[in-house]
Chains A and B, each alone.
Chain A
Amino acid sequence: MKMRIRGTIAALAVAVALMGLLTACSQQQSGPSESQAVSLNETGSSLLYPLFNLWVPVYTQANPGVKITTQSTGSGTGISQSIEGIVQIGASDAYISDAQMKQHPEMLNIPLAISMQMVNYNLPGLNGQHLKLSGPVLAGIYEGKIRTWDDAAIRKLNPGVHLPHHAIVPVHRSDGSGDTFIFTQYLAFSTPAWAKSLNYGTTVSWPAVPGGLGAVGNPGMITAAKDNPYSIAYIGSSYQDAIQKAGLGIAMIENHDGNFVLPEASTAGAAAAVMVPKTPKDQRISLIFAPGHDSYPIINYEYALVSSKQPSADMAAALRKFFTWAISQDGGNAPHFMEAVHFVPLPDAVAKLSADQISEIQ
């Protein structure tokens, strides 16, 4: 009997504690609207994540009424969770497809900056040199047709370089990824056979290459490339410092005009200058494989995916204010932010289009 009473008391105590916890939680949830604090959740692109990480502390310090959480989960997650309304801001290196836009016409694709992508390799002894690689050669490597580093196709692009006779380890993203989207777009635009077979997407059916690896997120790609000599990987420019720390090589990539160029602010800017005038009002456009002598072939808009129909006016206003700051030259597009992640600021014409879209968030 004594035991039973004690048990009842214990159960009651637990119940009271739980009730207390629940009320505390619900108070916290109702709290922000009373004190006018708005909480914005961002998730998606691991390429954009380092920039958000720089932005958020600066912005929230100047705007204490807003709380912003950021997560690096991959553009695939950014797209799906923003469409589902789980997060307010989906970060993505890829714009939403036509078919998905038809189903969700309320979604906006707002460029916040221009990024580029590197092709990196871990070739013992050669990482200090910039190997030259072309779209068809990269497609051959990822298709498993070019299997060793001293393959004739690679040698032809790199005369005089002593390439090892060792199997290539191609590393691809196994999560839904905007980096995969822009990389496969480069392969599809430069190599007709790839366009016919695999085309492009945030996930493609990677051909089975013995020894090939899947990795999650840009940090996962760096780890995989670092841990596996003779590997090759595609990694966003916001990880350029990490790449240099890991001692990986950065390839010169063949552009539309047949020149081999390095991912630099000048080459990315040259490509952007060609593509900016072609940007439509909804800003869903690929910047990949831009013509021009110096154009770097793999650049892209970094998108914030946002619904134009927000549940509350407060939320909409907070989003508009944050994005307006983000694309401004004195705000998020300021040189010190852009240089830290090796991005290119939005050209004025594109910033204006982004501003038009931002004003649609209601």
Chain B
Amino acid sequence: MNFRRFTALLASVVAIVLVVIVVFLAAYAWPAVRLNGFHFLIDNSWNLGRQYGTPITVHGQEILPGAHYGILFLIAGTLLSTAIALAIAVPVGVGAALFLAEGVPPIMRSWLSFFVELLAAIPSVVFGLWGYVVVIPFLGHHLFPFMIKWLGFIPFFGGTPGSGYGLLTSGLVLTLMIVPLITATLRDALVSQPASLREAAVALGASRFETMWTVLMPAVRRVLIGSSILATGRALGETMAVLMVSGNALNILPNNIYQPISTMASFIVSQLDSAMQDPTGMAVRSLAEVALVLCLISIMVNGLARVLLYYEGRQAARIA
């Protein structure tokens, strides 16, 4: 077997595994998909039913009496926490990358970059534990009441501060996890831009800031989009850190940014044991349906990235 065939085989294994996982998930979740229908996505009611009751038959499926599965609160929690994380992480990540690439002396640059990469290497459960022990008491007792006092007039910023567990806390912990991803990728791209770009801008009389903002940033826009999408994927699927700081809300939509939430990934972990006690098995199948929806959302986000990059590429080509 020559090298090319060998690598082709390896590459196809990856693709096959992906397809097999999705197909398995869909097949396993299928009874739940049929039972739950479209309401699965728009109802706020995850109810395993009466665990100690006698199973009943609905639409030919055996389920526990009172069982009903609707995950709108999970979809909302997942998308909102990711959106908050991105809204903070992109500006911070861009700023940090510009600073590391352009603003620091070369000796310090390698050290600071090293720390950013280290931050990216920290396992998420460590972030979760740190959030649980350090961040939550601080946010719940100091920062959130302070924010409500001074920013309460902004919609969703007012109300009751809650306990520190919740949407904003999850968003902040996710932010810390994805900033290094964006920063590290973007810094590398900035550093590798040809010196001639900078020289040309400076020759035209551009200030340092103008050089960065009008010449360098447009040159790395594709990288920024790409790394942001990767970061989004990580935030959407993050499990342990969110589980530890989200407050694990059930069947409720947050009415301000301080309220407890749940995300799809963390919910699957927290509910699996309870679901396994459902003798009809429908609870576990419904959790598989949650996983399927999460998979589809991630695929859609990646698809969106492709489309964005495609148009971005065409635009860049047109300018060139």
A-to-B contact residues, CB < 8 Å: 73-74, 76-77, 79-80, 97-100, 102-103, 167, 169, 174-176, 199-216, 224, 227-228
Q: How far is the CA of A212 from the CA of B55 in the complex (A)?
A: 30
A-B pairs with lowest CB-CB distance, top 7: A208-B252, A201-B51, A205-B47, A214-B248, A203-B274, A176-B274, A99-B279
Complex contact B66–A199 (CB within 8 A): yes
A211 touches which of B68, B160, B251 (Cβ 8 Å): B160
| Nearest CB of A to B76, in Å | 13
Q: What per-residue 1/0 map shows which CB atoms of B166-195 lie under 8 Å from chain A?
A: 000000000000000000000000000000
Residues of B within 8 A of A202 (CB): 51, 274, 277
Residues of B within 8 A of A210 (CB): 160, 252, 255, 259
Main secondary structure on B side of the interface with A: loop
Residues of B within 8 A of A97 (CB): 51-52, 277, 279
Complex contact B48–A201 (CB within 8 A): yes
Complex contact B52–A175 (CB within 8 A): no
Complex contact B279–A211 (CB within 8 A): no
| Nearest CB of A to B259, in Å | 7
Does B131 belong to the interface (CB within 8 Å)?
Answer: no
A selection of 19 A-B contacts at a CB cut-off of 8 Å is: A74-B273, A76-B274, A76-B277, A80-B276, A97-B51, A97-B277, A98-B52, A98-B54, A169-B163, A201-B48, A201-B50, A205-B45, A205-B48, A206-B251, A210-B160, A210-B252, A211-B259, A212-B260, A213-B163
Residues of B within 8 A of A100 (CB): 277, 279
Complex contact B140–A227 (CB within 8 A): yes
Q: What per-residue 1/0 map shows which CB atoms of B20-64 lie under 8 Å from chain A?
A: 000000000000000000000000111110111111000000001
Residues of B within 8 A of A98 (CB): 52, 54
Q: How far is the CA of A222 from the CA of B140 in the complex (A)?
A: 17
Main secondary structure on A side of the interface with B: loop
B54 touches which of A99, A201, A209 (Cβ 8 Å): A99
Does B270 belong to the interface (CB within 8 Å)?
Answer: yes
Residues of B within 8 A of A201 (CB): 48, 50-52, 277
Q: How far is the CA of A209 from the CA of B247 in the complex (A)?
A: 13
Complex contact A76–B273 (CB within 8 A): yes
Residues of A within 8 A of B46 (CB): 205
B44 touches which of A204, A208, A212 (Cβ 8 Å): A208
Does B162 belong to the interface (CB within 8 Å)?
Answer: yes
Residues of A within 8 A of B276 (CB): 76, 80
B52 touches which of A200, A209, A224 (Cβ 8 Å): A200
Does B305 belong to the interface (CB within 8 Å)?
Answer: no
Q: How far is the CA of A28 from the CA of B316 in the complex (A)?
A: 62
Does B144 belong to the interface (CB within 8 Å)?
Answer: no
Does B250 belong to the interface (CB within 8 Å)?
Answer: yes
Does B249 belong to the interface (CB within 8 Å)?
Answer: yes
Q: A203-B48, A210-B255 are in contact. Are A103 and B279 (CB under 8 A)?
A: yes
Residues of B within 8 A of A77 (CB): 273
| Nearest CB of A to B241, in Å | 14
* Residue with the highest number of chain B CB atoms closer than 10 Å, among A76, A80, A201, A206: A201
* Residue with the highest number of chain A CB atoms closer than 10 Å, among B160, B248, B251: B248
Does B91 belong to the interface (CB within 8 Å)?
Answer: no
Residues of B within 8 A of A212 (CB): 249, 252, 260
